[in-house]
Amino acid sequence: MTCARRYVVEVHDVSATDPSMAQRLLDCAPADAARRAAILIVPNWGGRAPVDAGNALSRSLGRAGATRVLHGYTHSLGRSLLNAIWFGTDDEGEFARLDAVEAARRLTSGMEIFSRAFGGTPEWFCAPRWQASAASRRAVRRARLGLLDRDEIVTHDGRRIASPVVWFDDGVRLAARVIGSLQRRQRVTRALRGHATIRIALHPRDLSPSTRAQVAALFDRMHRDGWEPASLDEAVAQS
């Protein structure tokens, strides 16, 4: 497939706590996009739900053709007053402020669980909230993983491809959601006008009826404007 304008669907926060979540989010995307989607897997959600080779999640994703991406280790650093007030969530910037030792520990632990569950090492990493400290980025490079960043794709050999993300999940607090909605409109406009490759991120909280309607409207708009779905590998090869 060769297309001047392409998009990759990212399905975020897939974990052993809800093995059916990935499919429910994939159902929000056009069928061709869902088949090519990147599935972002949290290997040990909250430090209490590791993925293993025998559970329902590994069985379902082992059969899928989608690209599996390592998505942090636990996805959370626990309770945070600031995050609770603003987003209504834990501190989900798991890799945002890590030093070299802790970044390497979490990355290595996540890769080990991932490898046991799926029978092979991951090729891609995405930090929760796309937030990674300098030490975390160095750890990702040393592990020879490609990085999905907020505004670009970085391949394992250092090639950088402009690819901004459009997301819909801004937490549960009203103020954060209102501001996020305004910022999203601007981000969609910039992404669709100024880039050949973009990514659409879907999170579990996007399954509400109102957000699903927004997601569907964006996919309809992109289809009318000639955007076509691509896998991560296709996006890299064609850029």
The rounded average pLDDT for each run of 10 residues, N- to C-terminus, in the chain (239 residues) is: 83 92 95 95 91 77 76 79 55 85 97 93 95 96 97 96 91 60 83 93 93 96 96 94
Q: Would you state the pLDDT for residue 81? A: 56
In this prediction the pTM is 0.89
Q: Could you identify the residue written with the tokens 């801004």?
A: 170
Q: Which pLDDT score is estimated for 1? A: 46
CA–CA gap between residue 52 and residue 115 (Å, rounded): 9
The pLDDT of residue 173: 55
Residue 86's pLDDT is: 44
Report d(CA 52, CA 59) in Å as an integer: 9
Output the CA torsion 117→161→201→170 (10° steps): 120
Helix (H) / strand (E) containing 35: helix 31-35
The per-residue pLDDT for 185 is: 85
Residue 165 in tokens: 């993300």
In the CATH scheme, what is the homologous superfamily, with its name and number, of domain 6-238? Glycoside hydrolase/deacetylase (3.20.20.370)
- Residue corresponding to tokens 């945002």: 96
Task: Say what the pLDDT of residue 119 is.
Answer: 87
